[in-house]
Structure 1
Amino acid sequence: MKDEDNERYRAPALDKGLDILELLAGVDGGLTQAEIAKRLDRSPNEFYRMLDRLVRRGYVTRIDGDRFALTLKLFGLAQLHAPVRRLVSYATPLMRELAESSRQANQLVVFDRGAAVVIAQQEAPGYWGISIRVGSHIGLFDTGSGHILLAFRSEEERQMMIAENLKSNEKPELAPEFFERLDQIRDRGYEMMPSAQTAGVFNLSAPVLGPDGQAIAALTVPYIALVNTRDAPDITGTMQLVLKTTEKLSRLAGADMAPAA
């Protein structure tokens, strides 16, 4: 019965447009009309009018003449979502303060539709720092932010997040040790791990908690050892600064927490 209802309320044109947007979101450098058709197993002629409309409405742009790529319009619409805008507005001055005191860059990450997404980032105040573009999707299973977002959720929510992520990403079955690590992270209140993407970088991550005590975001410093930089705290001191910042943010988000020292 459910399948019959799904067929009854199908909107083929809408599905076609969403298929295009979801496909382009996962590629760099854009795709030609023929490449889009091939990947979606359709005729190229089926997509001519749809691509034209998406270009005219500003969701897609032409690059190199015959290639199509996403614009930032979808990201802009997502930023209009009130809770995200409110969280970023609260976080921005505290992230700036953290960057100044730690001499390191930092970023704020949330879970959205199966992915860990960077919604705000603060550059390091000096010459050196690791930055990640706002809007970037990062790993859920191999980053400090991803670990925090999973560790500070209920078991049921955690499994839903993993299942949603695995829909669009083929990954091996997660070992029991992975879930044991998440429990350890929750017990100690933070994650400190070598970056799986960049040598010499350590992810220092802590949760921004909501009123229910669950993570609504992760704040991460991609820590690099700075040489000949005055007043730069070491990795342990930087982790403490991250924790103090997330405590302040959690209180602003309504979490019941003891005051930061």
Structure 2
Amino acid sequence: MDNDENDRYRAPALDKGLDILELLAGIDGGLTQAEIAKRMGKNANEFYRMLDRLVKRGYVTRLDGDRYSLTLKLFGLAQLHAPVRRLASYATPLMRELADQSKQANQLVVFDRGAAVVIAQQEAPGYWGISIRVGSHISLLNTGSGHVLLAFRSAEQRAMMMREYEETGEAGGEQKADLLERLDQIRERGYEMMPSVQTAGVVNLSAPIMGPDETAIAALTIPYITIINNPAAPNISQTIQLLLKTSQQLSKLAGLDVRPDA
């Protein structure tokens, strides 16, 4: 097909908007309108209305008044895409195995528009366990899942995620300096372990599911409770090792085009 045929259905405004998104996706710290125009070889006035619409639709945000940067809206939309749905599907047998071995419930959580959202969960095999409904929105700043989703992202992505969280109107969480220090500790340790802020007697154990770009696309969390009527139940240290093993297996799935019959 020749170039004339390729250009028959051109949509210049759409192309311009996509060009801006693709440019900003590869830039840390954002660009001014003049810098965007220079990199794209266009006049800055050509992009004013387009940038304004992208800001109003939530795809782009203004930093320090004159710099434009991507928000995480595209990332949130991606959570609805087939790869994440496949991840939840492929995670089910591994989550079931984790529940059987640990004697604890577990859940798979992703970030979506300012919240941590449960996309899959597995009941504990015994009588006792803490379960959260699929589709539940949980706090980003004071849960193990939220901490892990923040810890294994870039500093810029963390800031955007927390900004979107604040825009949801949710309150609470650690002070920013303390939280950032904690996130660095989680990243170095490889997982989060924290008493539940919502339920007494529960310790949230959370580990990241890493994508091909080496950032967390999901968190796998066990709301750990001490089981006193089953001496064979793994202790908390053993449960952490089971959690990390499963999260590493899921990370491999997230980085590969795995087929159902593989």
TM over 0.5: yes
Counterparts of residues 230-245 of structure 1 (less than 5 Å): 230-245=231-246
Question: Structure 1 residues 228, 160: CA separation in 2 closer, same or farther (over 3 Å shift)?
Answer: same
CA spacing shift, 1:237–1:5, aligned 2, 3 Å: closer
Check the 8 A contact 2:88/2:120 in 1, yes or no: yes
Alignment-derived partner of residue 229 in structure 2: 228
Q: Which amino acid aligns with 1:207?
A: P
SS in 2 for 1:166: helix
TM score, norm. by length of structure 1: 0.67
State the Cα RMSD in Å: 2.5
Q: Which string of whole-angstrom CA distances, capped at 9 and with x for unpartnered residues, describes residues 18-58 of structure 1?
A: xxxxxxxxxxxxxxxxxxxxxxxxxxxxxxxxxxxxxxxxx
Distance 1:165 1:233, change over 3 A: same
Matched position secondary structure for 1:111: strand
Secondary structure in 2 matching 1:227: coil
- The aligned counterpart of 1:130 is 130
Q: Following the alignment from structure 2 to structure 1, what is the Cα–Cα distance between the partners of residues 155 and 87?
A: 24
Q: 1:194 maps to which residue?
A: 195
- For 2:51 and 2:89, locate their aligned partners in 1 and report how far apart those are by CA, in whole Å: 45
Aligned runs of 1:109-258 on 2, under 5 Å?
A: 109-171=109-171, 174-254=175-255
SS at match of 2:198: coil
Task: Name 2:86's counterpart in structure 1.
Answer: 86
User: Structure 1 CA distance, aligned partners of 2:191 and 2:104?
Assistant: 18
The list of structure 1 runs, each at least 4 consecutive aligned residues, that deviate by more than 2 angstroms after superposition, is: 1-6, 77-81, 170-175
| CA deviation profile, 1:50-85 (whole Å, cap 9, x unmatched) | xxxxxxxxxxxxxxxxxxxxxxxxxxx999631221
1:89 Cα deviation from its structure 2 partner: 1.2
Deviation at 1:242, TM superposition (A): 0.3
Distance 1:157 1:78, change over 3 A: closer
Partners of 1:251 and 1:3 lie apart in 2 by: 39
Q: Which runs of 5+ in 2 are unaligned?
A: 1-47, 58-76, 257-262
Tell me the secondary structure at the aligned position of residue 165 of structure 1: helix
CA distance in 1: counterparts of 2:163 and 2:203, whole angstroms: 27
Q: CA deviation at 1:241?
A: 0.4
> Which amino acid letter does the alignment assign opposite residue 106 of structure 2?
N
3-state SS of paired residue (2:84): helix
Query: What CA distance in whole angstroms lies between the structure 2 residues aligned with 1:160 and 1:234?
Result: 37
* Aligned-residue offset at 1:230: 4.4
Q: Which amino acid aligns with 2:91?
A: A
TM-score w.r.t. length of structure 2: 0.66
1-side partners of 2:52 and 2:193: how far apart?
48
For 2:117, the aligned partner's letter is V
Q: What amino acid is the match of 2:101?
A: S
Q: 1:90: Cα distance to partner?
A: 1.5
Aligned residues: 187
Match runs of 1:46-85 below 5 Å: 81-85=81-85
**Using the alignment, how far apart are the partners of 1:245 and 1:97 within structure 2?**
9
Partner of 2:40: none
Deviation digits for residues 202-231 of structure 1 (CA, Å, limit 9, x no counterpart): 000000001111000000000000012142
Residues 89-108 of structure 1: pairs in structure 2 closer than 5 A? 89-108=89-108
Report what 1:40 is aligned to: none
**8 Å contact from structure 2 (residues 79, 110) kept in 1:** no
The alpha-carbon deviation at position 168 of structure 1 amounts to 1.5
Q: Shift of residue 237 of structure 1?
A: 0.5
For 1:50, the equivalent position in structure 2 comes to: none
Return the offset for 1:169: 1.7
Residue range with higher mean Cα deviation, 186-195 or 84-93: 84-93
Q: Shift of residue 177 of structure 1?
A: 1.2
- State the identity as a percent: 70
Q: Which runs of 5+ in 1 are unaligned?
A: 11-76, 256-261
